[in-house]
Structure 1
């Protein structure tokens, strides 16, 4: 570890004094008060939980002399989004019995349960681990849930990257016993439940010198860390937005290694010019035998050199921006102990969202069902939870969650395809085939009312924006055109807006920054088109962009390519002049 002793941020001091993430969480769990203190709130993230309150109810509560309506959000760690039907059913039960009755599929292929009261936090985590699942390292300054292409296919290629996802989940996990002691130990008998994900001290390269946390050390990472594994012909996990993106290089139906991409990250603070979104940079090629060690060494270089004084610039992307990728690679090679090969020429060139019917290669089928913004609920119009329950009970197959907040049902026999669709329609859920292209490729973060950082609406607003776009797009002849629309309630970028064709990012109350010029391929950053666009004219602004695209596109260029080519100033002129549908 570096011998320098720079000024530390308050969160660094909390981690240092936490005794490996234990803090005084146990005492607070036993306390009847309905919320946790500020120090433990930072530590709870490592255990997979954020404290939230219902911002919709703040005003009424204040008028009545009450306080905030506190609850906990709990996020699971589900490598590659793979989960059994029984596990999925149990999470649906948990959201009703211990949460606010809704369940969220996230942009990182996992599950969030919302509205869990403080008294129910320990029983909920215990139940999750009883299912051989975990919440450890789902949040916090550690490596989080590892994304992986969710397609189920026969042959070597997908099985190899799924095995690597599981191996990396273990190799990159914290080793602290605090998680077991706080959540999985019976207070009366002292007996422990095995943590669902399982961990082992697998460490390559230069370790921290810490017996408890040989990879992380007692202060863990300067900031969160994210990883994803995908293919050149299928960048469905947005490799360029990850701290480490592993691009699987395939030759003759075999993964011969990985182009290691480093330094992606979406979050930014508009008021701080030192912050910015970034796409990962191509660093080096790692063989299957090298890749785990190389990933651990990338993490260790960030551990020892990332900014621990200012969390706004603590992500890996800022270290690489300061050093340059060549210096960073050289340092990784020092930690690893040998030189690495250069990346192969392979790069991303296609994306598959895996929706609808797709053959698995073994005579069976998978079916990808679009879940708008990942929210599962039942109401008078549609019963998403009931429909998913029916499918899980009938087929009992593996469920795979996608990076676009949707689900894939696997191992469906040819003779059962009609039965699956029938179960979906009985619950009044739209099938993927009945979902418009623009809705299918849209995505939002949670935002209001539970996210404490949200400035504007996002998840609750995007569906109505899509409603307002479907008919105009059809009139323009663009109903089948593929492009990504992503919306966030603040600039932190949880729905990966900054590499989308079009993004709406909350900037002020009921006002959004409109970004254009990214793309569905995910390897180009969008730029600001217009700032502080009022909510009530957002749809009109987007329709004008589509109209300009219809009239002025060259050949078969995509919306993102068109917007990038003309630039935001000329796009505004073209949008104003184009005839509107």
Structure 2
């Protein structure tokens, strides 16, 4: 652990009384729509962020009014699967509280925005009745565990998918403060039940992310995570996982000590109990050695690079009492979702619905609510911000198709748009420097004619946008990536491969829309003229400009 002075957030955590802080008092303080300053850090551990409407900041400041504070709440859904009844509950809660908009995140869950402080307890209790919670969906703990979404990729999909639940349960904080503050409103006096050998009273130095990929698909962007598990399947049997550690995309503009990093594969493990031990102790090493003085350098990737991969692995094998074996071979050949109807090995049918940037439109929302009332399907969130309607029996498929037709779901959408992704950014994210979710669809509309012009519109070119360098939209792994630097200004990133195994690099810095379109027009023409046979746009860009 760093011997430098601890950051203020570290003090808040250790003095929080199991993440309680003064949240109970903050919630009944009617003088502001916000919580107290220290509670802003603690409320994240309960699955919430404080936000305000940045579109209205100036107007309210001129009137000498407080910021228009609200809260975002994110659910913990390991593997991203919920039942029809749970979807109904989410729908009904969203109709009562917040903006009414359902947002599918890049981490395979859903979040609501615009919740007022007095609505938080009712919102959480509404979710709890459907056995949904927001525990550890944010904060310096393990976040929502994600897993490949499409059952048709493997006959042992369910067996692999179950690991998401097991890992999530193992890494949950032991404090009961979530229930005490939001559910029961009764103080827990027997704190022995809260003994937490993993997180202790200081938790992790920073957030922690885990993903499970099932080759040949890398829809989870497995190497962007602190821990990546790559399922190894032979003869339709799961024989274990390759384990990768140290991934993370977040950077800070102007800070050369920060960088994006892809996870390093450190070996293979076949035993479930040993895999869980290894995962657990990657976290204990990060807990003990991670940087607690500078939060910008606190992710596992920096701990790994500081210790060195070899030393880290030695410490991991010692703590877990497990010896890693040589990594097994695997291949990724896809990263996009499989849209429309697909049939899996269990003969059940699945329909993947495109949800642009994860924002469920009013038409989609009505369709999904009516579908949920039929009880024919479960709902699977994908890491590409889409939604799979799943486990539909052949004899029930016609009812789903009838609703799809009724609501005009599944209209023609360009390949580029289907391969797009963005973070929320403005107006609610306090870190955003530029637009993303509200702007990318408009920009794609202007890029699509360029693809047609150069006769490459059938290509599945990945395009992603984030409003700041933190990378929530995983722009650093896109063939065309945009990273916000200022209002209406972006770094244009090129050279990532199509399957999430190579980072992109800055091609042009701090450019606005006219130059973006000019550069892409030039690049598409160059690609059409000079690309090798079967060469993707990302591979061409890397070879042309960075190799």
Where do 1:274-289 residues align within 5 Å?
274-287=257-270, 288-289=272-273
CA, structure 1 residues 418+64, in 2 after alignment: closer, same or farther (shift >3 Å)? same
2:26 aligned partner: 28
Query: Which among 362, 369, 390 is matched to residue 410 of structure 1?
Result: 390
* 1:363 CA drift (Å): 2.6
* 1:191 CA drift (Å): 11
CA contact 1:355–1:367 (8 Å) conserved in 2: yes
User: 2:136 matched to 1:137?
Assistant: yes
2:404 aligned partner: 424
User: 2:212 matched to 1:213?
Assistant: no
User: 2:293 matched to 1:315?
Assistant: no
Where do 1:399-478 residues align within 5 Å?
399-431=379-411, 434-478=412-456
CA, structure 1 residues 469+122, in 2 after alignment: closer, same or farther (shift >3 Å)? same
* 1:507 CA drift (Å): 0.7
C-alpha distance in structure 2 between counterparts of 1:351 and 1:66, whole Å = 46
C-alpha distance in structure 1 between counterparts of 2:542 and 2:308, whole Å = 25
C-alpha distance in structure 2 between counterparts of 1:146 and 1:15, whole Å = 23
C-alpha distance in structure 1 between counterparts of 2:405 and 2:164, whole Å = 34
CA, structure 1 residues 511+352, in 2 after alignment: closer, same or farther (shift >3 Å)? closer
1:180 aligned partner: 179
Task: Write out per-residue CA displacement over residues 296-345 of structure 1, whole angstroms, 9 at most, x where no aligned residue.
Answer: 01111111001001101000001112222111111101111232212123
CA contact 1:86–1:396 (8 Å) conserved in 2: no
CA, structure 1 residues 497+99, in 2 after alignment: closer, same or farther (shift >3 Å)? same
* 1:222 CA drift (Å): 0.3
Comparing 409-418 with 61-70, greater Cα deviation is found at: 409-418
CA contact 2:336–2:419 (8 Å) conserved in 1: no
2:238 aligned partner: 255
Q: Describe the SS at the equivalent of 1:290.
A: helix
* 1:348 CA drift (Å): 3.2
Q: Describe the SS at the equivalent of 1:387.
A: helix
Where do 1:490-569 residues align within 5 Å?
490-567=468-545
1:110 aligned partner: 109
2:350 aligned partner: 366
C-alpha distance in structure 2 between counterparts of 1:57 and 1:429, whole Å = 34
* 1:464 CA drift (Å): 0.7
CA contact 2:180–2:188 (8 Å) conserved in 1: no
User: 2:392 matched to 1:392?
Assistant: no
What is the CA RMSD across the aligned residues, in angstroms?
Answer: 2.0
C-alpha distance in structure 1 between counterparts of 2:40 and 2:509, whole Å = 33
User: 2:11 matched to 1:13?
Assistant: yes
* 1:475 CA drift (Å): 2.8
Comparing 94-103 with 39-48, greater Cα deviation is found at: 94-103
Task: Write out per-residue CA displacement over residues 450-495 of structure 1, whole angstroms, 9 at most, x where no aligned residue.
Answer: 0000011100000011111222212322121012100000000001
User: 2:309 matched to 1:325?
Assistant: yes
* 1:412 CA drift (Å): 2.4
CA, structure 1 residues 154+348, in 2 after alignment: closer, same or farther (shift >3 Å)? closer
Mark the runs of 5 or more structure 1 residues left unpaired by the alignment: 193-199, 202-210, 571-581
User: 2:324 matched to 1:337?
Assistant: no
Q: How many residues align?
A: 543
**What's the TM-score once normalised by structure 2's chain length?**
0.95
Q: Describe the SS at the equivalent of 2:151.
A: coil
Q: Describe the SS at the equivalent of 1:492.
A: coil
Where do 1:42-121 residues align within 5 Å?
42-121=41-120
Comparing 531-540 with 362-371, greater Cα deviation is found at: 531-540
CA contact 2:146–2:211 (8 Å) conserved in 1: yes
Q: Describe the SS at the equivalent of 1:541.
A: helix
User: 2:302 matched to 1:304?
Assistant: no
Q: Describe the SS at the equivalent of 1:515.
A: strand
* 1:252 CA drift (Å): 1.4
1:574 aligned partner: none
* 1:231 CA drift (Å): 1.9
**What's the TM-score once normalised by structure 1's chain length?**
0.90
C-alpha distance in structure 2 between counterparts of 1:257 and 1:280, whole Å = 18
Comparing 20-29 with 347-356, greater Cα deviation is found at: 347-356
CA contact 2:152–2:342 (8 Å) conserved in 1: no
CA, structure 1 residues 347+262, in 2 after alignment: closer, same or farther (shift >3 Å)? farther
C-alpha distance in structure 2 between counterparts of 1:82 and 1:237, whole Å = 14
Comparing 455-464 with 420-429, greater Cα deviation is found at: 420-429
Q: Describe the SS at the equivalent of 2:273.
A: coil
Mark the runs of 5 or more structure 2 residues left unpaired by the alignment: none
* 1:421 CA drift (Å): 3.6
CA contact 1:286–1:294 (8 Å) conserved in 2: no
* 1:416 CA drift (Å): 4.4
